[in-house]
Amino acid sequence: WNHNLPSEGSPFWQSDSDSTSKSSSSSSSSLCWDEFFANVVHVHSDSRHTDVAQRIVEEAHQRGISVSVDAEKDRCIESQHPLLQHADLLFTNSQQLQTYLQNRQPQSSSPNTPVAAAPTVTLPPLLTDDDDDNNNNVSSNSDDDATKLLTPSLRRMVAHSVYPSLCFSKWYGSSQDAKEVIITKGSLGALHVQPCTTTTTTTTSELRRLKVESTSHQSHTVTIEEPTTTTTTEGDNDNSSGCSSFTVQTMGVVPNLNIVDTTGAGDAFIGGYLMSRLFLGEGVTTTKTTTQDHMRFGAWVGGRKLEGPGARSTLPTGHQVDECLGETPNEIFNRLQQLVGEFGGDETTTTTA
């Protein structure tokens, strides 16, 4: 993505003659890196043509250009490791990244297991309400009714969403402390996971527990509870055994759609999220925006795609964004708050006494 967008019209007005992105599959033997990255502010790869994508992503990383990767599938090749490692933002769904993470565990006997197996990462069990009341080894939060904003199945989904972040933190250390992971869950919506603290500890995994604290339907903190005293730090910590606290933000979908074809819906969500974050986010406009604002825009773009055949026939144009949402960032995000539902859809509950 680059900043060479025409200045006239709304933020999403786009000229057919101007290219606003560079695919990881593009290559030219006569093109030097300085020319290739001229005006580029972000690199996105769908992880195909992995060897080429790896080289582009590494160069972007050295130049301080942000990188996002769609972990489309486990391609069982070495070049996928640095591709995912260097990603600042990783997109995946319930199945895509899980296969890759499991195949990298050394106990796997699959013939497709990559050569460079990584240390085993085990997801701690979820701390239940009963555990909160009866287990003296962890802090109690039984009076916090905010957790009841989630059904048990959604609460478990929020807790388990931190698994990819745990893996990357364990495998690559503090360089992954800022990595963001977005996990799409189909009709339920999507989760955005980001580490917020790291902990140095020697506690065995059997004594660790995952604890979910919710401040709203859309904002949660997942903590790895430790029964022993630990040292918590902000930022880099080369001796850290992995991040122990995560911020998880959730977003639903546009309800009551006339779904025609799901082909390309995930790609549409990614494109919408990146477009919103790169061209409507803070630092580009004067509007104060949040991750949830950009997730809503992605959900809206993905919803529009679902209402037509193929991957592109109903993707919104810039003029349709103006007509449906508004011409300014404030108008767009205010309208999206009315259109996009909460994570979980029908599974979402209300707080009860």
- Condensed to tens digits (0 to 9), the pLDDT of residues 38-89 reads 999 999 998 888 889 999 999 999 999 999 999 877 767 777 888 888 999 9
Label each residue of 167-184 as H, E or C.
HHHHHHHHHHCCCEEEEE
- Please tell me the pTM assigned to this model: 0.79
Out of 206, 221, 251, a domain closes at 251
* Any domain includes 111: yes
In terms of domains, do 292 and 326 share one? Answer: yes
Position 203 pLDDT exceeds 50: no
Rounded CA separation 101/121 (Å): 9
Per-residue confidence at 19, pLDDT binned at 50, 70, 90? Answer: very low
**227 and 79 together in one domain:** yes
282 and 318 share one domain: yes
Q: Are residues 125 and 193 in the same domain?
A: yes
**Residue 76: inside a domain, yes or no?**
yes
Q: Of 165-169, 205-209, 320-324, 343-347, where does mean pLDDT reach its minimum?
A: 205-209
Determine, yes or no, domain membership for 194: yes
Q: What is the pLDDT of residues 158-176, one digit of tens each?
A: 999 998 888 888 888 888 8
Same domain? 246 vs 269 = no
- 319 and 241, same structural domain? no
**CA separation for the pair 12, 19 (Å, rounded):** 13
Q: pLDDT confidence of 142, banded at 50, 70, 90?
A: very low
* In contact, 69 and 90? CB cutoff 8 Å: yes
Same domain, 269 and 226: no
Six-digit token pair at 94?
């319930």
User: How confident is the model at residue 145, as a pLDDT?
Assistant: 52
Domain boundary among 189, 217, 251: 251
Burial 167-203 (b: 16+ CB within 10 A, else e): bbbbbbbbebbebbbbbbbeebbbbbbbbebbbebeb
Whole-angstrom CA distances from 23 to 44, 54, 76, 146, 189 are: 7, 12, 22, 43, 26
Same-domain check for residues 45 and 148: yes
With tokens 């339920």, the residue in question is 188
Tell me: do 80 and 49 sit in the same domain: yes
- Measured distance between the N- and C-terminal CA atoms of the chain, rounded to whole angstroms: 49
Q: For the chain, what is the domain count?
A: 2
* φ, ψ dihedrals at 128, nearest 5°: -90, 170
Which is nearest to 191 in space by CA: 127, 251, 104? 251
Among residues 251, 276, 306, the one where a domain terminates is 251
Mean pLDDT value across residues 5-16: 39
Q: Would residue 2 count as lying in a domain?
A: no
CA 96/CA 114 separation, integer angstroms: 16
Q: Which of 103-107, 256-260, 274-278 has the lowest mean pLDDT?
A: 103-107
User: Do 110 and 67 belong to one domain?
Assistant: yes
180 and 327: one domain?
no
Residue 312's domain spans which residues? 265-341
The pair of three-digit structure tokens given for residue 199, joined into one six-digit string: 């902990």
CA 35/CA 267 separation, integer angstroms: 27
- With cut-offs at 50, 70 and 90, classify the pLDDT of residue 293: very high
Higher pLDDT, 340 or 71: 340
Tell me, what's the pLDDT at 124? 77
**Mean pLDDT comparison of 44-53, 68-77, 113-122, 231-240, highest-scoring range:** 44-53
Q: 38, 1 in Cβ contact below 8 A? A: no
